[in-house]
Amino acid sequence: MIFMYKFVTDKLDTQYIQLPPTDRELDHADIPLEEIEMREMLSAWYDTAYLPLVTANSLGDSNQQESARLKKVETTLLFVLKNRVYRAAFERILTTMTASTSRERLLRLLADSKGRYSVQ
């Protein structure tokens, strides 16, 4: 069988054929373009919205601005997750994440995008 990508059989798969490496940047031969874009979005979510809020909370700072930023970025993610291909990429990425509060938050976003809440 010939696969279009090295780590994914189909764009709508929610599991990898085999886990992609973490020591190099993945490209369009490895995973679908939508997953590359989703990885960039999640990196931006973490670096510009989630981490600043967590840091502000831990320092006891006022976090109104950080909280608003996180809500805005997550609203954008929820919009993108309406697309089945991006949602499948999101689910694949979540399978590679270790248990953490950020993963739990992303799982809640995924559940919200499907119109229900369930912790996995």
Cα 95 to Cα 84: distance, rounded to the nearest angstrom: 17
pLDDT exceeds cutoff 50 at 117: no
Of residues 33 and 58, more confidently modeled:
33
Alpha carbon of 114 to those of 15, 27, 77, 86, 118: distances in Å?
18, 28, 13, 13, 10
| Average pLDDT score over residue span 90-112 | 97
pTM assigned to the model: 0.88
In the chain, where the domains are located: 33-113
Q: Which of 44, 91, 103, 94 is CA-nearest to residue 72?
A: 44
Contact indicator for 94, 16 with CB cutoff of 8 Å: no
Q: Identify the residue with better confidence: 42 or 56.
A: 42
Name, in order, each residue with C-beta under 8 angstroms of 71's C-beta and a sequence gap of 6 or more: none
